[in-house]
Amino acid sequence: MMQENQEIDLQNLKALSVLGRGAKGVVFQVQEQQQTLALKVISKSFIQNKSKNKKNQEEKGVSSSETATEEDIYRRIWFERDVLKLFDHPLLPKLKGVIVTEEIVGFAIDYCNGGDLSSLRKKQSEKMFSDDIIRFFAAELVIALEYLHGLGIVYRDLKPENIMVQENGHLMLVDFDLSTKISMKSEDFQSRSPINNSISSKEMKKKKKRFPVLNFCSAGIGSDESDRHPEARVNSVRSDSEKSNSFVGTEEYVAPEIISGNGHDFSVDWWGLGVVLYEMLYGKTPFRGVNRQETFFRILTLTPPLVGEKTALRDFIGKLLEKDPTKRICLQEIKNHEFFQGLDWEKILQISRPPFIPSPNLVEENGVDEDMKVINGIDVKTFVHIVFNGCDEVVVEKDEMKKRKDHWVEGLSNPTTNNKNEDFFVF
């Protein structure tokens, strides 16, 4: 059995299927002895080629939308590895091992046989979930985000495709390459959040809990290794070092403050939660336009169309989708909202029968190309090389990727500012 965080020999893994593809990597379902894992593999040659193309364009005086250097990209890769090592929570993956060869970099994490939340929603008869089911999923996402924020981590890419369903029916957040850490100033508070009791980190249980006084100023990214538990309003006084200016996310889920380039903090994740819950309720995202620029314009200017009778859920979504981050609902208000009335936060993770429990023998089929399921195993290195060198003979989630072509954004000019840091990245 593989020991956590150890270096993996690719020869000891059997790649069974392709689970998905991102901008620079492919995720495989792999078998290691009796253990099934998800293996995220990034092509080194692809990273090098992108860096060379950027350099060549700059030498020719051509403006490039690619501002990420090879160093920047590897910094993101190692950041994801490091945060995976930190996690000790039932709704977040554990790093099972690392692969580093001349051709690829790979991370093995927990495998979720229930697929992602987007695939699960589309299997529903109305392509949407009931309020009660949304309440369960929303509560687990709040718990997961609270834990991340307690580590000083802003997730920044909350979307259904990054929310997996575990074998036990509980959720798991994956894909942390767009996440970042921000420094936090904090002050003592006496009360312990109910959610703290469900977090397995001994250090978090021992320490006196704290909440941050965050800032909304243009700033760089801090590097605090804080494991404090933030529970403050986001409109507190904030300092320059407690904001990120990175222009990252996925098009339809990105918060308005990221688009406007004024810096952002933990509250962008609550905006993302609002978009995800809206999609669960209505079967579509609230601001999608005919193109990227129109989508961003809608995010910045339009009120989300919360069609239907006034309910606690619609009120909750509206408060999450507040465009002004200083007025957006914060953690403690979220947990106290009417939508969660009667919910025992201490027992959410102890529920033995979540709304959807995958079959024990289910082979991952959500979002997986049937042609990519094999008996004898996939040659991971060859497959990744072919995918990122544009070979037409191999099709990876053809229909899904076509559908998402406006979602995965390599570089995008900021429509509202003229500052130099105005590119939009999906790594």
Catalytically active residues are: 157
Q: Quick check: 301 and 292 in contact, CB under 8 A?
A: no
- Encoded tokens for 12: 């000891």
Q: Please tell me the distance from the alpha carbon of residue 273 to that of residue 295, in angstroms, as a whole number.
A: 18
Q: How much is the CA Rg of the chain, to the nearest whole Å? A: 21
CB neighbours of residue 218 within 10 Å: 14
DSSP assignment, residue 68? Answer: -
- Residue 214: which of 167, 274, 261, 154 has the closest Cα? 154
Rounded to whole angstroms, how far apart are CA atoms 271 and 159?
Answer: 11
Q: Which two tokens stand for residue 285?
A: 């995202």
Q: Write the DSSP assignment of 102-161 as a string of letters.
A: SSEEEEEEE--TT-BHHHHHHTSTTSS--HHHHHHHHHHHHHHHHHHHHTTEE-----GG
Please list the residues that pair with 244 across neighbouring strands: 264
Q: Which two tokens stand for residue 239?
A: 């300092």
Question: Do the Cβ atoms of 115 and 367 come closer than 8 Å?
Answer: yes
- Find, among 150, 136, 141, the residue nearest to 200 by Cα: 150
CA atoms of 145 and 157, how far apart (whole Å): 11
